[in-house]
Amino acid sequence: MKINWVIKYYFVVFIGIFILVYKIENSEPFMNWSLYPEISEPKIQRLIKEKNCEELEKIFAKEYETNYKTNSLGFIIRKDKLSVRGLNLLKYLKYHLAETNCY
């Protein structure tokens, strides 16, 4: 019985899944701004457009200190363990800081 085709099949599927996950992780994160009443969307958008790195880094640090921690493996996790779609201001800011070459 030949299993040569199975290896090729799994290799192609693995590559396809890897590419899909890579695209999802490197795309702009979805933000639900109604989950952040203290932060206004126009203010953040203006800071991103002006490439105001200092202010964006301050907001990033404040968000990290109040809602996130780093576990023993080095992953950033929420302190309250909530998993709500759009509740990712930290990832949104990190994406735009990297996109504007702030760090």
Q: What is the per-residue pLDDT across 41-56, written as a single tens digit (0 to 9) for each?
A: 999 999 999 999 999 9
CA neighbor of 91 nearest in space, from 101, 80, 78:
78
In whole numbers, what is the pLDDT of the chain averaged over residues? Answer: 89
State residue 1's pLDDT score. 60
Output phi, psi for 98, to 5 deg.
-70, -35
Q: What is the per-residue pLDDT across 53-83, written as a single tens digit (0 to 9) for each?
A: 999 999 999 989 988 899 899 888 888 887 7
Output phi, psi for 74, to 5 deg.
95, 5
CA neighbor of 35 nearest in space, from 75, 80, 70, 74:
80
Percent residues over pLDDT 70 in the chain: 98
Question: Cα–Cα distance between 82 and 31 in angstroms, integer?
Answer: 15
What is the average per-residue pLDDT within 31-39? 88
Considering the entire predicted model, what is its pTM?
0.77
State residue 79's pLDDT score. 87
